[in-house]
Amino acid sequence: MRDLLRPSGAVLAVAIALALSARASVDDAQSFALQAAEPYVKEGFQVREDYWGGDLGAGEKKAVRQQLFKGNEYWFWLGTEVEKAKVSVHIYDSEGKLIEQPDSWQKGHFAAAHIVPKATGSYFIIVTVEDSPEERTHWALVYGFR
């Protein structure tokens, strides 16, 4: 019984270690996303503590659906710890129409999208790892509103 438990204990330990290291990297990515958000805090944006994160291969996309309210102004900031990666973020309405403001930007491993919603409802935020030297690139997306 003990022998049977030993390997599964080891597997569990490896699984936990892998999960922790994956989490740590998403947390690193989050710190870069927050770094992108920093200047906007001075402009009165409240940056949410909650965030989305994961990993993507080069050229892969991920969609995030978010409820936004007319009357507020939102920025979504994307970051990764892979400094040579290129990431982008764009906002679409529920019909799939690109709806972000023209001052949305992308600078290497940082990107941000800006929206002043004309209607309250669900919006899609599309995160893309455009290019990366890594097989999988961790990303984190935070948002703020005012």
Partner 1 sequence: MISLPRLLKFTAAATAGLTLCAHAAEAPKHIDVKQLSRNVEDVVVPLPNEIFGALNKLGGVNWREYVRNDKGNNFTERPRIALLLGSVIADGFIAVQAEDAPTVKDIGQRVLNLAKGIGVGNSITPHAKAITEAADKRNWVNVRQELDRTQNSVQKAMNEVGDQKLSQLVSLGGWLRGTEVLTAVVNQRFSEDGAELLRQPDLLSYFHTRLQGMPEYNMKLLTDIQDALVQVKPMIDVGQGKISPDSVKRINEITTRLDGEIVTR
Residues engaged in binding partner 1 (CB under 8 A): 46, 48-52, 54, 62-67, 69-72, 86, 88, 90, 92, 94-98, 100, 104-108, 111, 113, 119-122, 124, 126, 130, 143, 145-146
Please report, in angstroms and rounded to a whole number, the separation of the first and last CA atoms in the chain: 59
Q: How far is the CB of 86 from partner 1 (least distance, A)?
A: 8
Burial (Cβ within 10 Å: 0-12, 13-18, ≥19) of residue 4: exposed
Q: Which is nearer to partner 1, 30 or 81 (CB)?
A: 30
Q: How far is the CB of 121 from partner 1 (least distance, A)?
A: 5
Q: Coil, strand or helix: which one is 106?
A: strand
Residues near 68 by beta carbon (within 8 Å), at least 6 away in sequence? 74, 115, 117, 120, 121, 122, 123
Q: What DSSP element (H or E) covers 129?
A: strand 121-131
Q: How far is the CB of 127 from partner 1 (least distance, A)?
A: 9
| Structure-token match 């906002």, residue found | 91
Q: Which is nearer to partner 1, 31 or 122 (CB)?
A: 122
Q: Which is nearer to partner 1, 40 or 92 (CB)?
A: 92
Q: Which is nearer to partner 1, 83 or 95 (CB)?
A: 95
CA 41 to chain centre: 18
Q: How far is the CB of 94 from partner 1 (least distance, A)?
A: 7
